[in-house]
A and B are shown apart, each in its own frame.
Chain A
Amino acid sequence: MLNDIFIAPFVDMVEAPDFLMQVLWEGLVSGILYALIALGFVLIFRSSRIFNFAQGIMVVFAALTLVGLFAMGVPAWISVGLTLGVMFVLAVVIERVVLRPLVGQPDIILFMATIGITLFLIGFGETIFGGENKVMITEELGIPTGDTVLEPFGGLLILQHLDITVVIVATLLVAGLLAFLNYTQMGRAIRALGDDHQAALSVGISLQTIWVLVWFIAGIIALVTGIAWGARAGVSFALEVIAYKALPVLMLGGLESITGAIVGGLMIGILEKLFEIYWGQPLLGGNTETWFAFVLALIVLLFRPQGLFGERIIERV
């Protein structure tokens, strides 16, 4: 028993390094996608203290809109542009209709409101585009679909071109986002709002504009994530489950930290794959991916209640 838990999995890893690398690679790719969802979330949380549960559904909604527009006969790249437009309108509407009347309410009320948004978007998306599973328009967008086979240590390592593209695009997106936050006026305004609402307002930063902006950025991130996940798993509201995966990522990384979202996403993506393959399937009957990330994050939180990179919680009476 102890052997099965503490020794055998590591022996397996060393004996088949190519398989281990394959597992790590797949963990890395899903980790990047978790990180992307968590990133959209962190941006909104930092600037408005809203725990945006709808981030996951925005991913699905964006992907659905894209596929739906294409199915209506709009050329692929134009539908990407139109989808971005839809996400912008969505950001404006959410800010105007939902957030503005609820400013200053307790956190849990705003959290509930985002769950309301989630339900609304599910119903709305299904009403307009239908509830059935759809195929992402991978080829029309010019995303490569083949694979490269490497042979390290005399074994096999299969890298899907799609996954490589996802890694590159995600890295570029994150780099662009960081540059935007650090070097443009708008980006600095977002960060200022994250640090202190009142101070930011007093130097003339418009809360409403910034909120629309962060929701729009979250929408862009959602679209990229939606294309990537959609290409791997098809587009349907079952994708919603990946939204839940972003939550332990946030918890692990800390709700306010952009670095935390990225590191947390990669860690969870890789560790949950390793655990599933080497411990979950042989010992626990598999499908441990549903809860492993949460339990891992819970254990980390017991030692660091604000997450790995979160702001230190200071309480005063």
Chain B
Amino acid sequence: MLYRTAGQFKSSYVADQALFPVRQDAILLTIILIFGWVIFPMTASEFTFQTLLIPILIYALAAMGLNILTGFAGQLSLGTGAFMGVGAYACYKMVTLFPWMNPIIAILLSGVFSAGIGVVFGIPSLRIKGFYLAIATLAAQFFLVWLFEKWAWLYNYNASGAIQVPNLEMFGVFVSGPQAASVTEYYIVLFVVTLLTLLCINLTRGNLGRTWKATRDMDIAAELIGINLMKSKLTAFAVSSYVVGVAGALYVFMWKGAAEPNVFDIPLSFQVLFIAIIGGLGSIMGNYLGAILIVGLPVVLNVVAGTKVFEISAPSAILLVALIAAATFLFWVARNLWGVGAALGFGVVTLVYGYAQLQGFRIDSALIEHINVMIVGALIIFFLIIEPHGLNQLWRLIREKLIIWPFPH
């Protein structure tokens, strides 16, 4: 009903190929941008900035970088974490060697280094394919993390072996380091992420993006119609590693504040891969949806399990119920009964657990950690089963159904 496209006629190819052929999409995006740029920064608490808003944006950016390589160009990579590390270490070296450098410029430049290294490790992709390539990228993963640990020059020979973010100033305001305010950090992350998202959307829609997709769908066929595979694969590695490197620099400079080499170890790579796959390979928006789920879910689980939801704040309980109701409705619109069941099930479990907590029932916090890991694993499998093509596909189905709603066909 709200998504009705009646009356929106396209009278030229340009209009048909526009970024938003349906007007409601543009309106929706505007609303999201207003929330992101104005409403969230005005209302969010320190906790929300640090556990939800900033990490979601950074993880979404990293997943977008990986998605360009894996989703658009079809080259499976398990080395994302290490490339984030390259970006972070490059940025650290730059701001310590040239303290006068503008932090945003340093962050954007740090991606160039990871792009270079990405191209080097991308060269085997010209010969090695599929899972063999995936394991080959693990060589980059393990080798680079080892290098971060052993090459003392990278962390300026300090005793801890970790990189510490110094206080960085821009126009008289601290933008990074211990003294920076969360809001400032958030705005910088948001600015960089918006910029790169725009870049990625247009790259994947353009000539380069079409070459990547042809390579992904069948590389030999692509070669036969005249696509230079070497150029296609290596540009994919370069662009992907650039975005991932910038995400890594943001990860340390705008969020963590300090990082040891093992932060960039393989669990980080997998987390980013989860986001890209749960979100949907070959999509841009999916990365955001995936990041909201993968980063947001443990926080929600912790809040639900760790505090007495229904006792402490009625608003949070109402919000939870509203979210569950919305999810149920959207799944129902998409005729996805598994999804409806899951959303309702989650709601019932939360209610029962909340009631049990009111009665004084407690779970040990270490146990909650373990259960959290278990639930995340189960959810990954669950989402793969209900929609193997990711949340982006789920949203597309929902959107299609909404356009013709209330009619089924």
Which residue of A107, A121, A131, A287 is within 8 Å of B377 (Cβ)?
Answer: A121
B225 to chain A, nearest CB (A): 10
Please tell me which one of the listed residues B135, B136, B138, B377 contacts residue A116 in the complex, with CB atoms under 8 A apart: B377
Known A-B contacts A115-B270, A117-B377, A119-B376; A109 and B135 likewise in contact (beta carbons under 8 Å): no
Taking CB atoms, residues of chain B closer than 8 Å to A131 are 366, 370
A126 / chain B contacts, CB cutoff of 8 Å:
369-370, 373
Does A17 have its Cβ within 8 Å of any Cβ on chain B?
no
With A115-B270, A285-B150 as contacts: A317 and B220 at CB distance below 8 Å: yes
Residue in contact with B150 in the complex, picked from A119, A284, A307, CB distance below 8 Å: A284
Total A-B residue pairs with C-beta atoms closer than 8 Å? Answer: 137
> Considering the chains assembled together, what is the distance between the CA atoms of A13 and B11 in angstroms?
79
Residues of chain A within 8 A (CB-CB) of B135 are 247-248, 250-251, 294, 297
Q: Does A302 contact B (CB under 8 A)?
A: yes
Q: Which residue of A lies closest to B224 (CB)?
A: A317
- A197 to B129: give the CA distance in the assembly, Å: 22
CA distance A301 to B366 in the complex (A): 43
Shortest Cβ gap from A283 to chain B (Å) = 11
Answer whether A294 and B124 are a contact pair too, CB < 8 Å, given A101-B385, A123-B371: no
Compute how far the CA of A122 lies from the CA of B371 in the bound complex, rounded to whole angstroms: 10
**CB of A291 within 8 Å of the partner chain:** yes
Q: Contact partner of B139 among A106, A111, A295, CB < 8 A?
A: A295
Could you say which residues of chain B place their CB within 8 Å of the CB of A113? Answer: 380-381, 384
User: What residue in chain A is nearest B136 (Cβ atoms)?
Assistant: A298
> Least Cβ distance of B64 to chain A in Å?
17
Number of interface residues of A (CB under 8 A): 50
Q: Which residues between 133 and 155 of chain B lie within 8 Å of chain A, taking CB atoms? A: 134-136, 138-139, 142-143, 145-146, 149-150
Verify if B367 is at the interface (C-beta below 8 Å from A): yes
Query: Which of B129, B143, B372 has a CB less than 8 Å from the CB of A291?
Result: B143
Give per-residue flags for A216-258: 1 if the beta carbon is below 8 A from chain B beta carbons, else 0: 0000000000000000000000000000100110110001000
A116 adjacent to B129 (CB under 8 Å): no
Residue of B nearest to A125 (CB): B370
B219, closest chain A residue (CB): A315
Would you list which residues of chain A between 142 and 194 have a CB under 8 Å from chain B? none
The reply to whether the CB of B388 lies closer than 8 angstroms to some CB of chain A is yes
Determine chain B's interface SS by DSSP, over half rule.
helix
Inter-chain CA distance A116–B270, complex, in Å, is 10
Given A119-B373, A127-B371, A255-B384 contact (CB < 8 Å) = no
Contact call A247/B138, Cβ cutoff below 8 A = yes
State whether B378 touches A302 (Cβ < 8 A): no
Contacts A123-B370, A291-B143 given; does A301 touch B220 at CB 8 Å:
no
Q: Is B37 an interface residue (CB 8 A)?
A: no
**B76 contacts chain A at the CB level, 8 A cutoff:** yes
Asked if B127 is an interface residue, CB under 8 A from chain A, the answer is: yes
Stretch of B162-170, B273-281, B329-337 with 4 or more beta carbons under 8 angstroms from chain A: B273-281
Contact with B along A279-290 (1 / 0, CB 8 A): 000001101101
- Do A122 and B373 touch (CB < 8 A)? yes
Taken together as a complex, chains A and B put the C-alpha atoms of A284 and B149 apart, in Å, by 11
Which of A98, A127, A317 has a CB less than 8 Å from the CB of B381?
Answer: A98
B393 to chain A, nearest CB (A): 12
- The reply to whether A116 and B132 form a contact with Cβ atoms under 8 Å apart is no
Q: Given that A123-B374, A247-B135 are known contacts, is A115 also in contact with B142, CB under 8 Å in the complex?
A: no
Residues A294 and B142 in contact in the complex (CB < 8 Å), given A113-B380, A120-B378, A251-B135: yes
Decide if A313 is an interface residue (CB 8 Å cutoff): yes
B132, A307: Cβ atoms under 8 Å?
A: yes
Cβ-defined partner of A244 (8 Å) among B138, B277, B373, B385: B138
Closest 6 CB pairs of A and B: A123-B374, A119-B377, A120-B377, A123-B373, A294-B139, A116-B380
27 residue pairs bridging A and B, Cβ less than 8 Å apart:
A101-B385, A108-B277, A108-B281, A109-B384, A109-B388, A111-B131, A112-B380, A113-B381, A116-B380, A117-B377, A118-B377, A119-B377, A119-B380, A120-B378, A121-B377, A123-B373, A123-B375, A251-B132, A284-B150, A287-B149, A291-B142, A294-B135, A294-B142, A294-B143, A301-B127, A301-B132, A315-B220
Please give 6 more A-B residue pairs, beta carbons under 8 A apart, in addition to A126-B373, A295-B139: A105-B388, A116-B384, A117-B377, A297-B139, A305-B128, A306-B132
